[in-house]
Amino acid sequence: MPAGTEAAVPRSSASEPLRRFLQVARGAGLRVSAAEGIDAARALDVIGYADRVALKDTLGLVLAKTPDEKALYNEAFDLYFKHEALAGKDAAGDAADGRQHRHGEGEQGGGEGMGAGGSALSELLAEDDRAGLATAMETAGRESGVENIRFFTQKNLYTRRIMIRMGQGAVEEETEALRLGGTAKGIERAAMLEARLERLRDAVRDLVERNLLLYARGENEQFREEMLKSARLSNLERRDLERMRVLVRQMARKLAARYAKTRHRRLRGQLDIRRTLRKNMGWGGIPFVTVWKQKRIEKPRLMVLCDVSGSVAPMAQFLLMFLYALNEALSDIRSFAYSGSLVEVSDILEKQPVEQAIEKIMSTIGMGSSNYGNALADFEDGWMKYVTNKTTVIILGDARGNNNDPRTDILARLSQRARRILWLNPEYRSMWGSGDSDMYRYAPFCNLVTVCSTLRHLERTISDMLEAAS
């Protein structure tokens, strides 16, 4: 939890559930500041926990700002407060009153009494007091540190810790003694206690699983995202593709926010004398109003040539998706796809949602056999004239032209016209030049030739390109 937030939400019996819920909300992806934590605590003082609908609506107004965050908030709230209603806990007050009539002052909150001997747990099990068991289970869970669970492999560990703290050992000793006693009543009570202890164990296991979903979700999602960003795109499973699309949009938005600067940047300390004098002619040239020199910042103008043959198609999809999500930081993106021949696909990408457009491109011209020489010749005949010294050309491909003429002469002419040529190759560098690879023939005419097979590679390459243009 960010610094200052825990201080903002004091650890009292009333605020502790709120503190834990804010921890859960952050793990779910909500951005909750210290100030919002304070506002939530103040709202809780007014609303209380009794009316869950009012509580949910009130905290939602404080913590969730966008439609996406509202969806995350609703899911986190429902999951977190679900345990409050477990086993009739909404009626816990009535049940507690009943227990005090039956047991007087001897039962103090369940948790401490449970661990002391086991008779208290046996009595709760014998009376099938589910509200009391739920209270004791929650207390034992907190004392066992179940909020610290992070991996599914820890479920049995925390289940066992909670059961021991609740007094499982004493109940097992009691049932064993009852069986050894040999009386029919004792054996019947032992069987009842064992059955209800097993049911309690299932409830504890559910409690542990809910805490795993609540408190480990953020870290597990972060771990999974890091794994996906570093995985070769050609190795991805279909079930990961949607998550990868979300990651691409997130990464592109981050880069766009960093590099979508104004087209002019002030150069501090460099006075434009000529414009200053002109600006102050009305005061006899006395520089009451100063004018500073400015440097024009050009957004990169891109032409992107993507190999959509079978070996490179996954990388091409994410490159195009990445670039078109960067529309705030880029200008004049023209996209081309090729396998045997090259066609412009800019209109398709601009007029349709990028995911649908890419699927259409792949189904139309993708998965063919590569011919780089022919694709370069098509580009020179149709679009070379549009390349200027402000154009950055990105070529994505493994440079395997199936032993056709690589037409390096065309790439040489292109390098003379373009500002830069960046070649992104999804193959390992050790594979370059082997078999029908022409990578080392193309490399001398490129400003950058790099391995690009993961989202991490792609992010670094595009970031470096934007940095060079700023």
How high is the pLDDT of residue 465?
Answer: 79
Task: Give the distance, in angstroms, between the CA of residue 223 and the centroid of all CA atoms in the same chain.
Answer: 9
CA angle (317, 322, 327) in 5-degree steps: 130
Helix (H, G, I), strand (E, B) or coil at 345: coil
CA distance 37 to 18: 9
Q: What is the mean pLDDT of residues 336-346?
A: 86
Average pLDDT across the chain, whole number: 77
161: confidence class by pLDDT, cuts 50, 70, 90: very high
The DSSP-derived string for 129-168 is -HHHHHHHHHHHHHHTTGGG--SGGGHHHHHHHHHHHHTH
Query: What's the token pair of residue 413?
Result: 């002419």
How far apart, in Å, are the Cα atoms of 432 and each of 292, 366, 436, 451? 50, 23, 9, 10
How high is the pLDDT of residue 217?
Answer: 65
Tell whether the model's pLDDT for residue 384 goes beyond 50. yes
113-129 per-position pLDDT tens digit: 333 334 688 888 888 88
The residue among 165, 159, 160, 161 whose CA lies nearest residue 136 is 165
Query: What's the token pair of residue 455?
Result: 């989202």
| Percent of all residues in the chain with a pLDDT value above 70, rounded to a whole number | 78
Q: Give the residue, 67 or 394, on which the prediction is more confident.
A: 394
pTM greater than 0.85:
no
470: confidence class by pLDDT, cuts 50, 70, 90: low
Q: What is the mean pLDDT of residues 123-149?
A: 86
Tell whether the model's pLDDT for residue 180 goes beyond 60. yes
Most confident of 4-13, 241-250, 416-425, 457-466: 416-425
The DSSP-derived string for 192-234 is HHHHHHHHHHHHHHHHHHHHHHHHSHHHHHHHHHHHHHHS-GG
What residues form DSSP beta bridges with 378? none
Q: Give the residue, 330 or 414, on which the prediction is more confident.
A: 414
93: confidence class by pLDDT, cuts 50, 70, 90: very low
408: confidence class by pLDDT, cuts 50, 70, 90: very high
Most confident of 211-225, 358-372, 449-463: 449-463
Q: What is the CATH number of domain 301-469?
A: 3.40.50.410
CB 277 within 8 A of CB 287: yes
Ranges for all domains in the chain classified under CATH 3.40.50.410: 301-469
